[in-house]
Amino acid sequence: MRALIEMWYSRIPAHERDKPVLSYRGRLYTPSDIYREVVAGTRLGEELQRLVEAVRLSTSVNALVAQFWGVGKARALKWVEALPENFSIVAVDGSVVDKKGLRMLIEAERGLGAKAIETEALAAIQLLKA
């Protein structure tokens, strides 16, 4: 079923191919990692493909969010690191959050940080379902 992963990988936007989308045995995997392992025919590739297929067949995205929370957190921390040092955002409650504050909220999984994690978890799920 290598063809399934090849087709899936071809639909992933280039800018998303090196961002984590899956966690397996304590390690994060990107679409590029998954593709490489499957094409190489490794046992790990077989396991990763099985996980990708399970997500693609799942009908409840909301049920997957908790499972992908760690992936979402890693993705959120990665994009926050890429923000300019002088970054700030006004939250719904009117408070101003800078880059350091946003990173802290993500690490604590609170408020705006929790929402960022959830958003990135959903993004990873949608990429797996592409």
- For residue 29, what are its two tokens? 């995997």
Split at pLDDT 50, 70, 90, the class of 1 is low
pTM of the entire structure?
A: 0.89
Domain of residue 72: give its range: 2-128
The tens digit of pLDDT for each residue in 19-57 reads 999 999 999 999 999 999 999 999 999 999 999 999 999
pLDDT at residue 120 tops 70: yes
Alpha-carbon span 55 to 77, nearest angstrom: 23
**Residue 46: CB partners within 8 Å, gap ≥ 6?**
38
The answer to whether the beta carbons of residues 22 and 28 sit under 8 Å apart is yes
Q: Report the SS3 class of residue 11.
A: coil
Question: pLDDT at position 60, please?
Answer: 82
Question: pLDDT at position 92, please?
Answer: 81
Alpha-carbon span 45 to 123, nearest angstrom: 22
One-letter amino acid at 55 equals V
Residue 12 φ/ψ, nearest 5 degrees = -80, 125
Alpha-carbon span 33 to 5, nearest angstrom: 11
The tens digit of pLDDT for each residue in 63-76 reads 899 999 999 999 99
The tens digit of pLDDT for each residue in 78-105 reads 999 999 999 999 988 888 999 999 999 9
The answer to whether the beta carbons of residues 103 and 80 sit under 8 Å apart is yes
Query: Considering its fold, how many domains does the chain have in total?
Result: 1
Question: pLDDT at position 97, please?
Answer: 93
